Structure 1
Amino acid sequence: MRDVFLAVDAGNTKTWAGLTTADGDLVGLARGGVGDIYAPAGAEAAKDVVLSLVGDVLQTAGLSHSDVRYAAFRLAGVDWPADSEFWTTALSPHFDVRRFSIKNDGFALIRCGRLDGQGISVVLGTGAALAGRGPVKEWALSWWLQHPLGGAGLVSQALRAVYLSELGLTESTKLTAVLPPLLGASTPEEMLETTTERGNTFNFAALAAYAPAVLALIDDDPVVAELVDTQAEHLADYILSLARTCGLADPVSVVVGGGLVREPNAPMFAALRRTCDRRNLGLDLRHTQDPALVGALLDALAEGGANPTEAMRDRLTQKLR
């Protein structure tokens, strides 16, 4: 038997599975499709993606399920006890229930901030996943109560800005000329029909693909700048709520990453930093380019009895980037 640690980071665009040794050496990696049980394809499709990737990554490394000392599953759509029960039922035939944990994917990035797993993570990708862990409790902010956030949230609000402008209810925006052609329409009215008609393919994940086109206008369009600033304000509010709920004291470690903020100068991260500075929130706000799978692997190590170090995190990051 060879002791390894497994992690799965499942999202609305892609899912990753990785294997590491106790020293932080990556020995297996696999990528697949959507692993969110709330995605349009449904729970069984998400289960198939996750279980298939686990099998693939183990087979590639020449290992079996029994070689896994501990596994951390960080899965989009784990919002309620019934969701955890669904995954426990799916995973227990393959792993002893004492040898794996199931949490919302918002938790995946926390150890990319602090190795002890304390603090708050903000993952901005297709949507937003926010979670905190402190001396009082750990808590993932439910997607169901969030304002429209992440790439899909930004685009959905951009579409609304176009429609309101066309109705004469808000100021004009350059989005009116940019978005319809991108979405296969010639006018805002046609764009509304295209994105809402029966059988349309503009689901949550599909909308997020147009976020870069919206963000490209941030310096030239006050409407876009306001959309970004508004999302930053909501994020700051949620961070404060998580800090209070989890019992975190200043300076609260907040690590921010994900596809919408790939670079440290990404507009959304810059807006969040300005907002936090202006409100003097007492946060240790950090940007990370680490893949969320790094944090999930560190979770598996820590929960499985190993002791994650900076060197191990750097080693995993270099391999996964």
Structure 2
Amino acid sequence: MSEYFLGLDLGGSKSLALAADQEGRLAGCARAGPGNPDVIGLRDFQALVRSLVARSLNTAGIDMAQVRAAGFGVAGYDWPSQEPALRQALCAAGVLVPITLVNDTLMGLAAGAEQGWGVAITAGTSCNCRGRDPSGREGRCIGYGLEWGEAAGAYELLRKALQAVGAAYTRRGLPTSLTEIFLQYTGAPSPEDLIEGLVRGCYALPASAAPLVFQAAEGGDEAAQEAVAWAGRQLGDLAVGVIRQLDLQELEFETVLFGSLFNAGRMLIQPLEETVRAEAPRTRLVHLQAPPACGAVLLAMQSLGMDTRPLRPILLRQARALWGPA
């Protein structure tokens, strides 16, 4: 009789549950919206988990009695003090098997690093960086964005782009096509109205507007190009801190990249890579080519002592065929 493992990615903007058997074959899945418990609250977090688990088991044609363990990568799970309440919510949601609970960035590391250790950088709505050394020791950034001097996801990139627009408006900087791009996006009639509206909350530039900055950079706008390069350097700097915490400078390891911001390609990744390689020249950058939830499945398997090295490529290949890169 087959045994199964669950992996849930409970992210800041979307969530995904996967069910796989002991051979690494994908059996079921389910999708949902945001799963960060700091944002949606523990009650809704519990309901979300219950729904995702039920639907992923249903698509697999199995029940919870056939599940041996479950892994959870949770956005917003940043401190040990949060663990008891999260575990209680997972149990209340009906997950009564052995549970592995990690920050969602470590889940991406488990999916993307062939050796199971190294550094992972995620950049979507915001950003985070975590790492593990060969002994399992963990390193981290704070994970709370510009308030703590950490960047850059889409939110931080847009902040940087708006600074260029403000500098152009006040003649402290050069003109930038970002002004006209943001005017068209918001419908504001003038630069002055745009800035006033953004300051007073009449207009908004959500994270989904970040590709506008990349488009301006590709069109040759110097302010946009510098904003993107700044984001890359900042993300690399997060990794440098983790590398120093774990003393990885002289080792060969993978730096795993995942999140929608990396769809920008080399204009973002090159300054990131230069920053990281200056500290750890033997690292290899890997763009995760499957949903991070695969890492949660692998962590669940590893919690029971399974060797997941031969299973990982099977799981990632099947998940990539369904969803593509992270």
**TM-score, scaled to structure 1:** 0.87
Structure 1, 18-27 or 224-233: larger mean CA deviation: 224-233
Alignment of 1:168 onto 2:171: yes
Q: Which sections of structure 2, spanning at least 5 residues, go unmatched?
A: none
- For the 8 Å contact 2:105–2:128, the answer to whether it is kept is yes
- 2:80: which partner in 1? 81
Q: What is the CA distance between 1:179 and its match in structure 2? A: 1.0
The answer to whether residue 310 in structure 2 is matched with residue 311 in structure 1 is no
Q: Secondary structure at the match of 1:154?
A: helix
Runs (5+) with no aligned partner, structure 1: none
Tell me which residue corresponds to 1:256.
Answer: 257
CA distance in 2, matches of 1:129, 1:76: 10
Identity over aligned residues, as a percent? 26
- The 2-side partners of 1:187 and 1:46 are apart by 42
**CA distance in 2 between partners of 1:140 and 1:49 (Å):** 27
**Paired position in structure 1 for 2:230:** 230
219-228 vs 290-299, greater mean Cα deviation? 290-299
Residue 302 of structure 2 corresponds to residue 302 of structure 1: yes
User: Is the Cα contact below 8 Å between 1:22 and 1:306 reproduced in 2?
Assistant: no
Kept in 2, the 8 Å contact 1:124–1:261? The answer is yes
Partners of 1:173 and 1:299 lie apart in 2 by 46
Kindly indicate whether residue 125 of structure 2 is the aligned counterpart of residue 126 of structure 1: yes
Q: Any residues of structure 2 matched to 1:160-239 within 5 Å, and which?
A: 160-197=163-200, 202=204, 207-219=206-218, 220-239=220-239
SS of the equivalent of 1:218 reads helix
How many residues align? The count is: 314
The CA distance in 2 between the partners of 1:153 and 1:83, in whole Å, is 26
Superposed displacement of residue 303, structure 1: 2.3
Q: How far apart are residue 190 of structure 1 and its match?
A: 2.8
Encode CA deviations 1:229-261: one digit per residue, 9 max, x unaligned: 212222222212112223434223201122111
Compute the TM-score of the two structures, normalised by the length of structure 2.
0.86
Query: How far did residue 267 of structure 1 move?
Result: 2.6
TM-fit CA distance, 1:120: 0.7
Please report the RMSD computed on the Cα atoms of aligned residues, expressed in angstroms.
Answer: 2.5
DSSP-derived class of the 1:209 partner? helix
Contact kept, 8 Å, 2:150 with 2:238, in 1: the verdict is: no
Q: Over residues 65-98 of structure 1, what are the superposed CA-to-partner deviations in whole Å (9 max), with x where a residue is unaligned?
A: 33221111001100122332221110123234x7
Give the aligned partner of residue 147 of structure 1: 150
SS in 2 for 1:216: helix
Displacement, 1:33?
A: 0.3
Corresponding position of 1:58: 57
What is aligned with 1:23? 23
SS of the residue corresponding to residue 17 of structure 1 reads strand
Which whole-Å CA distance do the structure 2 matches of 1:319 and 1:90 have between them?
Answer: 30
